[in-house]
Amino acid sequence: MPTAEAAAARRDRVFLVVVDDSPERAVALRYAALRARKSGGRVALLRVLEPAGLVEWAGVGQMMAEERRQEAEALLSGLAAEVQEITGGMPILIIREGEPREELLKLLEEDPRISILVLAAAPGSGGPGPLITALTGRHAHRLRVPMTIVPGEMSEAELERVT
């Protein structure tokens, strides 16, 4: 019989998914949600907004930043509904502004709730993608949690089987 401490540890397991615009993001999201459902954990979704370039008028720049934030909130809201349908719980939603790799690494350093980083590799022969390449290469020493790399072309049935 599991102890209360073991049950709390499972409930506190947070699977972080980086919400970028890649098609393989859907695979990483589904994998994380299935793992969270089967292990009693939660999903966190991170969307990083890259800073807007130099704009001549401050009001225009602020308006553009607000539009990007609203778009990010709408995207995360839709993905949160998908996660809730699979897991039965609302994910943690995080929006940051900056360079994606740096913001991800800062979040991993700052948030002790995050237990596992879930990324999907780009299909094809072009490499796994820039974020995975950086995190398995020169920035690997900065990771404080395990990283799961899911093949980006996994089918629904394969995801069900491996989770």
- Reported as a single tens digit per residue, the pLDDT across 116-125 is 999 999 988 8
Domain membership flag for residue 3:
no
Domain membership flag for residue 1:
no
Distance from the first to the final alpha carbon of the chain? 22
Domain membership flag for residue 158:
yes
Residue 87 near residue 37, CB atoms below 8 Å: yes
Domain count, the chain: 1
- Reported as a single tens digit per residue, the pLDDT across 44-98 is 999 999 886 655 566 677 788 889 999 999 999 999 999 999 999 999 999 999 9
Mean pLDDT in residue range 93-115 = 96
Q: What is the pTM of this model?
A: 0.88
What are the beta bridge partners of residue 119? 149
Domain membership flag for residue 110:
yes
CA nearest neighbour of 104 among 130, 82, 80: 130
Domain carrying residue 29: 10-162
Domain membership flag for residue 4:
no
List the CATH number of the domain containing 117.
3.40.50.620
- For residue 24, the Cα-to-chain-centroid distance in whole angstroms is 12
